[in-house]
Every structure is written in structure tokens, then in C-alpha cells.
Amino acid sequence: MGSSLPWENLETPLESQEAGLGQGSIIPTVCEMCFWKCGVHARVHDGKVVALTGNPDHPLSRGRLCPRGVGGIGSLYDPDRLSEPLIRVGERGSQEFRVATWEEALDRTAEGLRKVADQYGPESLALFYHGAGGSFFKTLFKGMGTANIAAPSYAQCRGPRDVGFELTFGEGAGSPEIADVPNARVMALIGTHLGENMHNTSVQDFSAALGKGMRLITVDPRYSVAAGKSKYWLPIKPGTDIALLLGWANVIIREGWYDAAYIEKNAVGFDKFRAEVAKYTPEAVYIETGIKPEQLIATARELAQAAPHSLVHPGRRVTWYGDDTQRCRAVALVNGLLGNWGQPGGFYMSSSIPLKQAENQPPVPEHQAASDRPAGSYPYAGSVLANGLREATLTGDPNELKAWMVYGTNLPMVLPDPRKTLAAIQKLDFMVAIDILPMEITGWADVVLPECTYLERHDDLIAPWYREPYVALRQPVVEPMGNSKPGWWMAKELGKRLGLEQHFPWETANDMIGDRLNASGFSAAQQANLYKKGVILKQADPMYLPAGAPLDLATPSGKIEFWSQQLADTGFDPVPVYRRPEQPGPGTFRLLTGRSPVHTFGRTANNSRLLDQYPENEVWLNRATAVDMGLRSGDRVMMKNQDGAETGPVKVKATERIRGDCVYMVHGFGHKDPRMRRAHNNGGDDNALTTRYKVDPIMGATGYSVNFVSLEKVEV
């Protein structure tokens, strides 16, 4: 394929993080090994990054990084990185490319997008993105007049949670989450595997709270790291959490363990809710969930006795069974009963520093709604559905999509049913992928644009809603390697070619940032400090409501909606209803997925430093079941699902730490592109086995945990 790799023989410049700690000078920037965006101190010596540590001034890192943040050096110096623009020469998908100049690759990209927009209208364009750098391409696509802009962090991740909370409290659960974990006395986790899910600050808060004596209830079919820290582990039958949550609500109400005056003042539809949940007795719930009645009662009591300083954590990746909005609403309702909204140890009020667009930015043209769903479907979708854009590409409903730009999201391993993703790509007139590695998605593109990594570029300013509001700066700490370029530069260059240059009215990234800081009212001294410290901090607004103050929520009633008129009016259950999920047949297991603390999805699967710590994923199988099947830890199996899709060989982990009706594997392994030499054929790909998925009728998210797999031993 002829791509020249100037750093082919350059592995990580130093063997270890420790070796780099004493060296070089510190440049502050922001991590992008996941999307939490911690503040980093990069130690740079002789033009090379030798160590990454946490920025002590940054509220999300507080001086520490998670293992992936430290291991960012392995991504920067990955010898398999994309280093030159590529243009497809063979059939689409044949993975044959030639190296091109930036001039040619950008011309080709602009022409591909322009042709489609001219012929079919801007509503036939789609941008899939994930990550901070996506903002420049969003500007470009909005400028072209399309609303088809989607990230998998919505309908493949936390969308149902936010809709469930909005329907109940009028507000989503935030990112970072507004769960006040450091002050909680009791916390329940529904799946949410904190400690394996390694969002730095969440894990710091979690361990601090445990250190202060927080009692933990972990509901998980698997004995997770968090389960190991728990007073109660409830090994629930997968897919039955709604029954458990409504059972908790029933017990708390029945026993009078709630604040009736609070509910009277702050809730609507409580009597109807009480009547609906009365049937979820501990005995009835036991039959569905396998959780013993006395355990259900004991855990309900723990939560209620500590209220309002107790919570059921909202979770994050909640796309499991297709009824996820209702499960998340049930989580919100138990929290409503605990009276913890706006209270320490419950949910805090976040604040942020409002940033303004630079004054020289033109207005975005009017455009019609996104083409991600047929008219009338998914009424509560609050963002564009990535799966919906794929569906429209396949079906032409509501209109055909003919060109995709894919920035920083490896769609074949991210969207369920990868067969559909590839079929949709084959229907396109044009596709461009912007990536740092030769991931699967790039193999299907017409043009591949190599981005430099987060350590080699600026991105837009970062100012999230959080407990301490702040603005943070991502700035390059070393020069881009090879012929890779920052996204902001690509978007600007494409803007020039598409007549949209006025949307990128700056010459350099420093100008872009300076203009925005000026427009937002920051002084020269504050700006200089941002470059030096990496962050501007501001005093937080009050985080809690005065005890006893009435709630003034953004729901239609202004109160906590125990019975939702909105849902009733749109044909959905106004109170969540448990429905029994389909069960695996003999010899098959429900496939569950999650995270390794030292990897991020598939994006770190070729990172040498992280592979040193976790070299491949394994399939967790109940030990007794394994014995029955003649399997032992370390054996290798092929995994096959109900539709005949396969992945593997994968190593078996036979363990008591998982129920017998499911298996579990970490997502993001089993890559198929041979250009990633470490990731290629290493472990198994859960997404390859996710040929079936269930769409949430309320807001369109894709539930993944509805696939059943069998395991067959292979000799290797």
C-alpha cells in the first residue's frame, strides 16, 4: 500500500513512564484517550513526549490520569499510524489505496461532498463523529446546510439515560454525571462498572466515598470490580432490572420509608405510580430477577434510611435491551422517592463558563430536520441517531443519504449489526474517513485523511457543565508526525474548497482560540494563564438546593413526574412496566460486554503500552458451566451467535464471578484490519456477534444485549 512511515522503527522513545518523569519541560494539554478530557502535563524532552501525568490544576484530573491517559504515549508513537492521505484505487472495500498529496485528497473530498449536495441536496450528506475534533467538521456540515450529524455517544451509549431523567426530572444526568458520589452514604449501581469503567474523576470520587464508608449495592450478573467493594452484590438475571427497581419503589412506599411531605410538595402522579408498582412484591420480583426477597428488602432499606444522601447511580452506557429509557426512568423514579435531587449525596446542580462564538463567525444557514428517522418515530430522540442515519442510507426513508464523512468513529465495530453498516457504505457515492490509525472504517473509504493525535494539535476550547466550572485548552506538545494534520486545518481547507471559508475566519489555531476567548470576555492575563496552566477556573454556583425548598423542575408540571402525562399522550407506558426478556436456549448464553480499565473501546487495541497491561480480551464463563462443557481457563473458543456470526479464537476465563446464563467480554478487540499489526486478530469482537439489536421505541437507541452465543473449543 506504499504508505511511508517515517517513524517506522521508532517505538515509544522511553521504555516506561517512570523513566520519563524527571525529564524535559511540562506543557499542559487535555487528554483524548477517552472523552472525559482530563488535564494533562506532558513532559517533552528533545522534541519527544517522555511522560504524561495529571494536571494538578485541572478539576477532572486533580493531578492524576487513569492508565489510558498515561499510556497515550503508546498511541502517539504507534508505528502503524496513518501518515499520508490515501485514495482508494480498487473496488470499495478491497482495501487498495495509493498515497496522495493533501492537495489532491482535499480536492477529491470537497468534490465528493459537493457533487452529492448538488445532485441530491444537503440532506443527503451525513457526518458521523466522536471526539473533540469533530466540532470543526460539524461547523463545515452545518455550513453546507445539513442537520445529519451524529455521534455514537447518544443512541449507542447514554441517550436513554438522559431521556429517562428528562422525562422525570426535566434534565439529563450530564457528562460528567451530576451524581454527587463523594457525599453519598449509600449508592446502588445498576450494571455501571466503576473501576473498570475508568473515567478518572468518577473513579477518584468513588474510591474516596468508599474510603469514607459509603455502603455500596451492586446489581450486576457479573461480580465486577465494584461488586468486590460492595456490601451487597445482587447477581441479577440479565434484562430484569426494571422489575428490581419497581420492587424497590414498592417496598419503600409500602413500608412508608419515604418523605410523604416531600412527595406531596414535589411530585405529580404519585398515587397512580403507587398503584402501578404494588404488584412488584419482593416475591414476584424474585421470580423474575433471582434476587431473594430479603435482599431486595434489605437493600431498599439501606437506600431509604440514608436518604436524601443516597442514590441509584444513573449509569452511562445504558443501551442494553431496547426498553432502556423506561429502565432509566425507573432509576430516576427511585431517586425521586429518595428525595435526593439537588441534595448532597444525591444529584448536584452543575455550572459552567459560557463560551461565546467568535464575533466574526457567520450565521449557519437554515436547514431542515435530520434524516435519521421516519416521520413520527422516536418522539423523544434528543440528538441525531447514528443508527438512524445508517437506516436512511439503506432504505431512503425519509430520504437517501449519498455521502458520509466519518471522523474518529470506527463504525463497523461501533454500530450494532456490522453487516448493515457495510451494506450502507456500499450504497454511497462517496465516503471519507478521518482517523489516526488504519481502523476497519478506513478500509471502506474512498479517501482517508490522516489526523495527528491529540498531543500534536489544538482543538476547540473545552468548558463542560461540572461541579467546578472551568475552561481548558488542548494545545500541541509536539509536532505532527509524518504527513498527518490537525482536524481544524482540514476543515478550514475543505471550507475554502466548498465556499464556506467564512466559517473558519482565522489563520492559525491560536487565532481561533484567541478570538473565542476575546468574544467570551477573558482578559489577556487570563488567556496567558490558560496557555501556562491549561485551565481557567471559576467559582461554582451553589451546588445544592436549600433543604426543604420546593423543586422547580423543567418537566411540564415543574415537578417529579411519577406518572408521565407526556408518555401517556404519545402512546407509551406512563409508569415503567417490566416485560420479561427473551431467554437464551440450551447451550447458549446471553452476550454481555463492558470495559477493561486500561483500554478505550477499540481505539487502544494497537497501543503497545496498554497491551502490556491487558494483552487481549477473554470470554468470562461460569465455572460450573465450563466444567460441564469440558472447558478450562486458557482454552480458546470460537464464539458463534444465533445468526451464525462468529468471532475468535478467544481465551476462556472460567470463573464463579458470572452467572451461568450469560457470558461477558470486553468490547474493542478482534480487529480485522491487518495494517494494525498488534490489534489484528487479537481476541474477539463483541460487535461482530451483535447482529441483532433492539431499538428503543421512545428515543431510537440500540439495545445490544439481545444476542445469544455458543462456544466451541478450538485447538491452537
Ligand X SMILES: Nc1nc2c(c(=O)[nH]1)N[C@H]1C(S)=C(S)[C@@H](COP(=O)(O)OP(=O)(O)OC[C@H]3O[C@@H](n4cnc5c(=O)[nH]c(N)nc54)[C@H](O)[C@@H]3O)O[C@H]1N2
Contacts of range 516-524, beta carbons closer than 8 Å, 24 or more positions apart: 516/355, 516/356, 516/357, 516/358, 516/460, 516/461, 517/461, 517/471, 518/358, 519/356, 519/357, 519/358, 519/359, 520/353, 520/354, 520/355, 520/356, 521/356, 522/471
Q: Which residue has the cell 404488584?
A: 279
Check binding of 221 to ligand X (CB under 6 A): yes
Measured over the CA atoms of residue 73, residue 75, residue 81 and residue 87, the dihedral's sign is negative
Q: If you count DSSP H runs as helices and E runs as strands, how many of each does the chain have, helices first?
A: 23, 26
Least distance to Mo ion, CB of residue 124, Å:
28
One of 95, 410, 421, 564 touching ligand X (CB under 6 A): 410
CA–CA gap between residue 263 and residue 57 (Å, rounded): 41
All three cell numbers of 611, joined, read 497491551
One of 687, 706, 707, 709 touching ligand X (CB under 6 A): 687
Check binding of 31 to ligand SF4 (CB under 6 A): yes
| Selection from 406, 374, 413, 367 nearest residue 392 by Cα | 374
Check binding of 73 to ligand SF4 (CB under 6 A): no
Which residue number, 161 or 222, has a Cβ lying nearer to Mo ion? 161
Chain contacts with Mo ion (rule: CB under 5 A):
157, 317
Candidates 33-41, 144-152, 182-190, 450-458; binding stretch for ligand SF4 (CB under 6 A): 33-41
User: Under DSSP, is residue 146 helix (H, G, I), strand (E, B) or coil?
Assistant: coil
Check binding of 484 to ligand X (CB under 6 A): no
Least distance to ligand SF4, CB of residue 69, Å:
3
Least distance to ligand X, CB of residue 313, Å:
9
Candidates 43-51, 363-371, 446-454, 623-631; binding stretch for ligand X (CB under 6 A): 446-454
Candidates 89-97, 303-311, 408-416, 463-471; binding stretch for ligand X (CB under 6 A): 408-416
**DSSP label of 687:** G
Which residue number, 61 or 289, has a Cβ lying nearer to ligand SF4? 61
CA–CA gap between residue 667 and residue 599 (Å, rounded): 9
Check binding of 592 to ligand X (CB under 6 A): yes
All three cell numbers of 35, joined, read 472523552
Which residue number, 97 or 454, has a Cβ lying nearer to ligand X? 454
Which residue number, 194 or 621, has a Cβ lying nearer to Mo ion? 194
Which residue number, 210 or 436, has a Cβ lying nearer to ligand X? 436
Least distance to ligand X, CB of residue 317, Å:
3
| Binder of residue 698, out of Mo ion, ligand SF4, ligand X, none (CB less than 5 to 8 A by kind) | none
| Selection from 171, 163, 162 nearest residue 552 by Cα | 171
| Binder of residue 413, out of ligand X, ligand SF4, Mo ion, none (CB less than 5 to 8 A by kind) | ligand X
Are the CB atoms for 378 and 699 separated by under 8 Å?
yes
Check binding of 242 to ligand X (CB under 6 A): no
Are the CB atoms for 432 and 112 separated by under 8 Å?
yes
User: Under DSSP, is residue 444 helix (H, G, I), strand (E, B) or coil?
Assistant: helix
- Chain positions 148 to 207 lying near ligand SF4, rule: CB under 6 A, are 198-200
Which residue number, 33 or 575, has a Cβ lying nearer to ligand X? 33
| Selection from 245, 261, 269, 265 nearest residue 329 by Cα | 245
Percentage helix, strand, coil, to 5, in the chain? 35, 20, 50
Query: Residue 428: phi, psi to the nearest 5?
Result: -80, 155
Measured over the CA atoms of residue 695, residue 701, residue 702 and residue 704, the dihedral's sign is negative
Give burial (CB, 10 Å; 0-12/13-18/19+) of 622. Answer: buried
Q: What is the distance of C-alpha 59 from the center of its chain?
A: 20
Which residue number, 77 or 693, has a Cβ lying nearer to ligand SF4? 77
Candidates 64-72, 125-133, 338-346, 444-452; binding stretch for ligand SF4 (CB under 6 A): 64-72
Check binding of 198 to ligand X (CB under 6 A): yes
Check binding of 437 to ligand X (CB under 6 A): yes
Candidates 110-118, 365-373, 451-459, 511-519; binding stretch for ligand X (CB under 6 A): 451-459
Beta strand residue intervals within 492-534, DSSP E:
none
CA distance to 199, 266, 312, 404, 437, per residue, from 315 (Å): 12, 24, 9, 31, 30
One of 34, 358, 449, 598 touching ligand SF4 (CB under 6 A): 34
Which residue number, 21 or 624, has a Cβ lying nearer to ligand SF4? 21
Candidates 27-35, 78-86, 88-96, 294-302; binding stretch for ligand SF4 (CB under 6 A): 27-35
Give the CA count within 13 Å in the CB-facing half-sphere of 217: 27
Check binding of 594 to ligand X (CB under 6 A): yes
Which residue number, 679 or 698, has a Cβ lying nearer to ligand X? 679
CA distance to 30, 72, 245, 602, per residue, from 77 (Å): 18, 9, 47, 17
Check binding of 37 to ligand X (CB under 6 A): no
CA–CA gap between residue 627 and residue 635 (Å, rounded): 12
Are the CB atoms for 6 and 482 separated by under 8 Å?
yes
- Chain positions 97 to 116 lying near ligand X, rule: CB under 6 A, are none
Least distance to ligand X, CB of residue 296, Å:
14
User: Under DSSP, is residue 123 helix (H, G, I), strand (E, B) or coil?
Assistant: helix
Q: Which residue has the cell 461488586?
A: 227
Check binding of 690 to ligand X (CB under 6 A): yes
One of 248, 601, 693, 708 touching ligand X (CB under 6 A): 601
Amino acid at 626: A
Check binding of 241 to ligand X (CB under 6 A): yes
One of 135, 197, 299, 707 touching ligand X (CB under 6 A): 197
Which residue number, 7 or 465, has a Cβ lying nearer to Mo ion? 465
Check binding of 409 to ligand X (CB under 6 A): yes
Amino acid at 486: P
Are the CB atoms for 597 and 305 separated by under 8 Å?
no
Least distance to ligand SF4, CB of residue 200, Å:
4
**DSSP label of 658:** B
Which residue number, 227 or 637, has a Cβ lying nearer to ligand X? 227
Check binding of 601 to ligand SF4 (CB under 6 A): no
Which residue number, 31 or 619, has a Cβ lying nearer to ligand SF4? 31
Which residues form the interface with ligand SF4 (CB under 6 A)?
Answer: 31, 33-34, 36-38, 65-66, 68-69, 198-200
Kindly list the residues in this chain that would bind ligand X in the complex (CB under 6 A): 32, 34, 130-131, 133, 152-153, 156-158, 190-193, 197-199, 219-222, 224, 236, 238-239, 241, 315-318, 320, 407-410, 413-414, 434-437, 439, 441, 451, 453-454, 592-595, 597, 599-603, 664, 667, 686-687, 690, 704-705
